[in-house]
């Protein structure tokens, strides 16, 4: 028991960021790699076409050039050190921001072509993100004015700027 605890304790010490979705966790290690585990039914673990659950941490991708990670309810988003935004998992109502509301993405997919993303947060079926110029962007379900653009009921399939302010933190 002591050796198992010691091994698990030191494995988890390497994480600098943890984010919990509905039933899954995404974490970033000090080396820039991303690890996920838990419920993967919607593809949020980037582990194949079956949406499998993972009982132990697995790497989200084979690279270690990630600067930011977050878990949504049914998806996972990450920003690379080059400022590109990536996501996997549930895409209901266009919640991945990939230009469609097609089925789930079981593999990481780049969202748009911008290279100045700084932070992203995901809710139920919508997401918000900040760019390095501190502008606010959103995509996904918009049936309750989630996009803040005074328009209702048309889902936003790609990121749109919310307002014109550039002082979001």
Kindly report, residue by residue over 61-99, the tens digit of the pLDDT: 778 899 999 999 999 999 999 999 999 999 999 999 999
Residue predicted with more confidence, 105 or 11: 105
The span from the CA of 66 to the CA of 144, in Å, is: 32
In contact, 105 and 95? CB cutoff 8 Å: no
Average pLDDT over residues 111-136: 95
Residue 134 has pLDDT above 50, yes or no: yes
Q: What is the 3-state secondary structure (H, E, C) of the chain?
A: CHHHHHHHHHHHCCEEEEEECCCEEEEEECCCCEEEEECCCCCCCCCCCCCCCEEEEEECCCCCCEEEEEECCCEEEEEECCCCEEEEECCHHHCCCCCCCCCCEEEEEECCCCCCEEEEEECCCEEEEEECCCCEEEEECCCCCCCCCCCCCCCEEEEEECCCCCCCC
Is the pTM higher than 0.95? no
Question: What pLDDT sits at residue 152?
Answer: 80
Question: What is the rounded average pLDDT of the residues 107-117?
Answer: 95
């Amino acid at each position: 028991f002591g050796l198992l605890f010691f091994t698990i304790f030191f494995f988890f010490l390497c994480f600098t960021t943890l984010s919990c979705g509905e039933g899954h966790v995404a974490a970033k290690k000090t080396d820039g790699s991303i690890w996920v585990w838990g419920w993967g039914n919607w593809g949020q673990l980037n582990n194949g076409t079956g949406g499998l659950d993972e009982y132990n941490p697995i790497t989200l991708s084979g690279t270690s050039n990630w600067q930011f990670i977050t878990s949504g309810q049914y998806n996972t988003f990450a920003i690379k050190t080059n400022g590109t935004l990536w996501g996997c998992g549930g895409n209901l109502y266009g919640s991945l921001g990939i230009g469609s509301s097609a089925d789930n993405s079981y593999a990481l997919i780049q969202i748009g072509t911008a290279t100045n993303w700084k932070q992203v947060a995901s809710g139920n079926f919508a997401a918000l993100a900040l760019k390095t110029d501190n502008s606010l962007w959103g995509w996904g379900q918009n049936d309750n004015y989630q996009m803040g653009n005074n328009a209702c009921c048309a889902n936003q399939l790609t990121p749109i700027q919310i307002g014109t302010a550039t002082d979001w933190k």
